[in-house]
Structure formats: structure tokens, C-alpha cells
Amino acid sequence: SLYPHSLRNIDELCASIVRSHRETSQYRVEELQALRWKLFSREEIQAYQSKSVDEMWQHCAIRLTEAVQYVVEFAKHIPGFRMLSQNDQIALLKTGSMEVVLVRMSRFFNTENNTVFFDGKFAGTEVFKSLACGDLITAVFDFAHGMCALKLTEQQIALFSALVLINADRPCLEDKGRVQRVQRSVEFGLTHILHRDNQESLMHKLYQRVAVLRSLCSLHMEKLRWFSQRYPLTAHSLFPPLYKELFA
């Protein structure tokens, strides 16, 4: 059948994905609304900019790893994900978790002053200068802008995140057919809520965003490789183990 045995209908499927998104979203959008105008002072920005490249990368890697762990929790509650083999679950997370981190990051983005929530306040691109990868940060900010322009609801973000993760075209899947069945049920769920919200036109825009995500994440992996070659000690000793497991 189209649905995993535990679910009787499409509403239950959507409800469980939305619940899982809410419980693993690290910060609620309402919480961050209150912090919107909490910006870094000149001194604080100077402090970030005077960090060394590997210090700043390590600082970000810790946050990215934390965010990836929340995405792993989210994935585990997507109906059908846990029915996949361990290897297929890891294969989907290895390639999809950073994409979901990016989709989620756009929820913490303030398009009015082009800042993103980072380390407890809202930061502009200048805060990340010492990373020495302006193109990556610009791409992250541009992607967040593009996502914000779609004005997705939390439910739409939840289903879209699940769809980004459950992708049967990922490389080296053991049982592509099973992943396809889970992917089809999630696609069905997304179509269902877009229809309910009377926003079917969003579907093709969301698939365009998926294409942008793919290219953005290959840029990330390239940067990650550059960084771990340039600073092997930091990359291999200081990056939290999960990060190495997923991205090494």
C-alpha cells in the first residue's frame, strides 16, 4: 500500500510529520520573532571577525552538528523511515541532513535586515567573514531569502523537509523501491496540504528550491573538503563525531 501499515490515512501521515517537525525544530519561530532585533554590537562583530579561520569553522561546526542531530530525530519520526534498512537511513541522512538544516535555517532569517539567528542574536554576513568562504555564506543567505519569499507555513515546511530527506535518487541506496514508496507517501502528503491550503502553485516552486539546495550542498561539501585539507587537525579532532560520520 501507499502508506506504512501504522497509518490509516493521509491526514495521519501529515499530522505525524508536522508533530515531529515541531518537536525537533530546535527553536520555535514565535520565540525568534521576539529576538528579531537583537543584533550583534560592533565589538561583538569585531570579536567574530578576529577569530582564526579554524576557530570560526569549529564554532560553526558545533552548531551545524547540533542542528543535524535534530534533523536525525525528525527523520526517525517520518512514517516509514525506520522501516528502511540502517544503511539506507544513513545514506539518506548523509546527503539530505544538511539540505534540511538549510531549509530550517530559513525559518530563522530576517529578510528586513538580511540577518540570521546565530549564537543567540541575529547576524549579518559580515559576522562570518573569518570563515574565509564568503561565497558559501552568500549562497546560504540567498537560499534563505528565496525560501522566505515562498512564505511557507510550519506545516508546509515540515512536509517539504521530509520530502527533501526521503529521496529515492540518492546514491548507493540498497532498496530504492522501498525508499520510493516512502517518498511517494510524503509527496502525497505535501500535495494534500498544498491542496487544502489552496496553494498548489507552490509545488513547482518547491521543486525548484530542491534543485537550488542540491547545488548549494555540493558547494558545502567542497568547502568542507577544502577546510579539512587545510586544517586537518581541527577537522579530524575537533569536529563532533556525528559530523565526521555524516560528512567525512
Ligand X SMILES: CNC(=O)[C@@H]1CCCN1C(=O)c1ccc(Cl)c(COc2cccc3c(C(F)(F)F)cc(C)nc23)c1Cl
Residue numbers at the binding site for ligand X (CB under 6 A): 60, 63-64, 67, 98, 101-102, 104-105, 108, 116-118, 128, 131, 136-137, 140, 220, 223-224
Distance, in Å, from the CA atom of 191 to the CA atom of 197, rounded to the nearest integer, reads: 10
Provide the minimum distance between the beta carbon of 128 and ligand X in the complex, in angstroms, as a whole number. Answer: 5
Instruction: Report the nearest approach of ligand X to the CB of residue 212 (Å).
Output: 13
- C-alpha distances out from residue 166 to 58, 82, 96, 169, 182, Å: 29, 12, 8, 9, 7
Nearest approach, Cβ of 68 to ligand X (angstroms)? Answer: 8
| Closer of 3 and 109 to ligand X (Cβ) | 109
Which is closer to ligand X, CB of 168 or CB of 242? 242
At its nearest, how many Å lie between ligand X and the CB of residue 63?
3
Beta carbon nearer to ligand X, 181 or 220: 220
Output the smallest distance, CB 98 to ligand X, in A: 6
Under 8 Å CB-to-CB from 57, ≥6 apart: which residues?
131, 227, 231, 234
Q: What's the closest the beta carbon of residue 183 comes to ligand X, in angstroms?
A: 23
**CB nearer to ligand X: pick between 44 and 187:** 44
**Pairwise CA distance, residues 119 & 122, whole Å:** 8
Whether the Cβ atoms of residue 137 and residue 128 lie closer than 8 Å to each other: yes
**Contacts of 132 by beta carbon, 8 Å cutoff, 6+ apart:** 53
Q: Which residues touch 37 (CB under 8 Å, ≥6 apart)?
A: 122
3-state secondary structure of 7: coil
Nearest to ligand X of 10, 60 (CB atom): 60
Give 28 or 82: the residue with its C-beta nearer to ligand X.
Answer: 28
**Strand 121-123 versus strand 109-110 pairing type:** unpaired
